[in-house]
């Protein structure tokens, strides 16, 4: 399916994907651009498939199994139709401050619980992992996400964070997050147990090419990077910029992230925080493209990933 025939706006997307036959044709063209491939036996001989139009499924004559465009993707076993899945993907990838499950629930006519599950599956598709290291000029910073411990009941603190000691500390009641931003490039963010020297140094060495210009604030845990990197330090107690040395880029990313969490999602459990980091990092890294570009990037990543309900709510697999 040629891109010029695809929607360019949310309104066009809702209209375009309202027809389930068009949805199936679109997903098949994205998933199998060179022809149908059986997800069970990898058969690709087009003469060996029978399409059951009434049920919108294929029958493989080789392994005698049936499959749909959802099989082997994050949408597998979902009773929600593609006419709701695809507009939901369009909404979340193009909403700068995110889209809540209640918005999806109201706009698409599904339950809030189903919308919440659907959004987390889409966030899995938005997850990007690269073995290529950052280079050039890289800003590194850490922040804390979550409510203030002094505003929480002691039972909530004990359940979420394991105790109420040091209740006045900035880190108690919050989750530590580390970010690395290549200027004019991509950002990577991850949840960390604590902003210790060992953890921060390990992450920097794992994600940043040796000899790169690395810029951090004056947090003492960053000391000792000079042996592998050109380390520039900006002391925020005195100034925020000194020539090329600053962390304003990664601070901007934190601002966007916290605006989405506080303004749209309101409350995010620490167990799920990494999924919201993946969502915000995707939109930031794809900020140059248009709405259709971001939508297609996620649709192409739906296959080969699964997220079951037990995994999402933290229950052990049977």
Higher model confidence: residue 267 or residue 124? 124
- pLDDT of residue 318 exceeding 50, the answer is no
Mean pLDDT of all residues in 188-206 = 95
Q: Which of these ranges, 121-135, 139-153, 170-184, has the smallest mean pLDDT?
A: 139-153
Reported residue count of the chain is: 318
pLDDT at 309: 84
H helices of 98-168, in order, are 101-108, 112-126, 154-161
**How far is the C-alpha of 287 from the C-alpha of 187, rounded, in Å?**
11
pLDDT in tens, 35-93: 999 999 999 999 999 999 999 999 999 999 999 999 999 999 999 999 999 999 999 99
pLDDT in tens, 144-172: 998 666 666 777 667 665 655 444 454 55
- pLDDT of residue 217 exceeding 80, the answer is yes
- pLDDT of residue 225 exceeding 70, the answer is yes
**How far is the C-alpha of 125 from the C-alpha of 217, rounded, in Å?**
33
Check: CB of residue 143 under 8 Å from CB of residue 254: yes
- pLDDT of residue 226 exceeding 90, the answer is yes
Tokens coding 83: 């006419």
pLDDT at 147: 67
**How far is the C-alpha of 16 from the C-alpha of 20, rounded, in Å?**
10
The residue to which tokens 């050039």 are assigned: 136
User: Nearest 5°: phi and psi at 221?
Assistant: -65, -15
Helix (H) or strand (E) holding 214: strand 213-217
Q: Which of these ranges, 169-178, 224-233, 249-258, has the smallest mean pLDDT?
A: 169-178
Residue 182 pairs in a beta bridge with 138
pLDDT at 92: 96
**How far is the C-alpha of 33 from the C-alpha of 210, rounded, in Å?**
39
Tokens coding 183: 């200027």
The angle formed by the CA atoms of residues 149, 154 and 157, to the nearest 5 degrees, is 55
**0.85 surpassed by pTM:** yes
Structural domain boundaries of the chain? 137-268
pLDDT at 311: 84
- List of residues 6+ apart from 206 with CB closer than 8 A: none
Task: Tell me what percent of the residues of the chain surpass a pLDDT of 90.
Answer: 81
Mean pLDDT of all residues in 254-273 = 92
- pLDDT of residue 24 exceeding 90, the answer is yes
pLDDT at 155: 76
pLDDT at 165: 46
Q: Tell me whether residue 309 is exposed, middle or buried, using C-beta atoms within 10 angstroms of its C-beta: 0 to 12, 13 to 18, 19 or more.
A: exposed
**Domain 137-268 architecture:** 2-Layer Sandwich (3.30)
pLDDT at 230: 97
pLDDT tier at 12 (50, 70, 90 boundaries)? very high
């Amino acid at each position: 399916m040629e891109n010029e025939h695809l929607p360019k706006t949310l309104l066009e997307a809702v209209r375009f994907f309202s027809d389930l036959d068009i949805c199936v044709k679109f997903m098949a063209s994205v998933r199998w651009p060179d022809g149908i491939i059986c997800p069970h036996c990898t058969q690709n001989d087009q003469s060996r498939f029978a399409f059951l139009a009434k049920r919108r499924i294929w029958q493989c004559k080789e392994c005698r199994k049936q499959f749909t465009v959802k099989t082997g993707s994050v949408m597998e076993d979902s009773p929600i139709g593609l006419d709701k899945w695809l507009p939901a993907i369009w909404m979340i990838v193009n909403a700068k401050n995110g889209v809540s499950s209640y918005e999806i629930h109201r706009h698409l006519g599904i339950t809030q619980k189903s919308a919440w599950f659907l959004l987390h599956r889409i966030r899995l598709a938005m997850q990007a992992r690269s073995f290529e290291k950052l280079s050039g000029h890289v800003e590194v910073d850490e922040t804390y996400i979550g409510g203030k411990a002094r505003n929480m009941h002691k039972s909530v603190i004990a359940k979420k964070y394991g105790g109420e000691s040091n209740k006045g500390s900035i880190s108690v009641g919050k989750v530590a997050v580390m970010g690395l931003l290549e200027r004019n490039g991509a950002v990577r963010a991850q949840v960390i147990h604590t902003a210790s020297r060992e953890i921060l140094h390990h992450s920097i060495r794992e994600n940043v090419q040796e000899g790169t210009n690395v810029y951090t604030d004056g947090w003492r845990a960053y000391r000792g990077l000079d042996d592998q990197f050109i380390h520039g330090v900006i002391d925020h107690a005195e100034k925020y910029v000194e020539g090329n040395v600053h962390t304003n880029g990664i601070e901007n990313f934190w601002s966007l992230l916290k605006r989405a969490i506080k303004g749209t999602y309101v409350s995010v459990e620490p167990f799920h925080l990494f999924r919201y980091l993946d969502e915000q990092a995707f939109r930031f890294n794809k900020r140059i493209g248009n709405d259709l570009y971001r939508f297609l990037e996620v649709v192409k990543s739906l296959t080969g990933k699964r997220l079951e309900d037990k995994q999402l709510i933290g229950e052990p697999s049977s």
